[in-house]
Amino acid sequence: MRRDKVDLAKRFGDGYNRRDVDGAFAELVTADFEWWPALSRAYGGGCYRGRRA
């Protein structure tokens, strides 16, 4: 696996583990990104969306 991909995954994991999901996603996602966490969706919650224009 390419080193830049590994570094990217580690940065995301670090942000997520700090419970800074918004910060982790802000650096790493594109404008058309959507992530629906399973528990959030099951209970009628929202999703994380890509960068704002």
φ, ψ for residue 50 (rounded to 5)?
-60, -175
**Predicted local distance difference test score (pLDDT) of residue 26:** 75
CB 29 within 8 A of CB 50: yes
Two structure tokens written together for 32: 């058309």
**Predicted local distance difference test score (pLDDT) of residue 41:** 62
Two structure tokens written together for 52: 């704002």
Would you give per-residue pLDDT tens digits along the chain (53 residues)?
688 888 888 888 898 899 887 787 777 777 788 877 777 666 777 777 776 65
